[in-house]
Amino acid sequence: KQEVTQIPAALSVPEGENLVLNCSFTDSAIYNLQWFRQDPGKGLTSLLLIQSSQREQTSGRLNASLDKSSGRSTLYIAASQPGDSATYLCAVTSGTYKYIFGTGTRLKVLA
């Protein structure tokens, strides 16, 4: 049974710091892995999608990597800003309808 873990559950960093968020999964037979951002009281916004054949994806200051063999993905945020404060969730799917979500990392970037 696939399980997705995100550690730490919460993180506070000063503005300008580069940071890494972690997502671990137990079954390497995934179709894709997706990172989301969720602001308080809002829905999930898709940040990056990594297909199983890819090693990384980049969008602006965000870079997500995928290592299926070790069951890990990292979301790297460069030069963090207070506006990056949100909860970040990852989700994996094996290609069927089912998506398994982590419980998220709550990030606070301090000005």
Partner 1 sequence: NAGVTQTPKFQVLKTGQSMTLQCAQDMNHNSMYWYRQDPGMGLRLIYYSASEGTTDKGEVPNGYNVSRLNKREFSLRLESAAPSQTSVYFCASRRYGTGELFFGEGSRLTVL
Tell me which residues touch partner 1 (CB under 8 A).
Answer: 31-32, 34, 36, 41-46, 49, 51, 89, 91, 93, 95, 97-99, 101-104
Q: Which two tokens stand for residue 22?
A: 């972690």
Q: Which is nearer to partner 1, 13 or 38 (CB)?
A: 38
Write down the least CB distance from residue 49 to partner 1, Å.
5
Q: Which amino acid is at 12?
A: S
What's the closest the beta carbon of residue 14 comes to partner 1, in angstroms?
Answer: 27
15-33: b (≥16 Cβ within 10 Å) or e = eeeebebebbbeeeebebb
- Minimum CB separation of residue 55 from partner 1 in Å reads 16
Q: What is the gyration radius of the CA atoms in the chain, in angstroms?
A: 13
At 40, is the secondary structure helix, strand, or coil? coil
For partner 1, which is the closer residue by CB, 34 or 65? 34
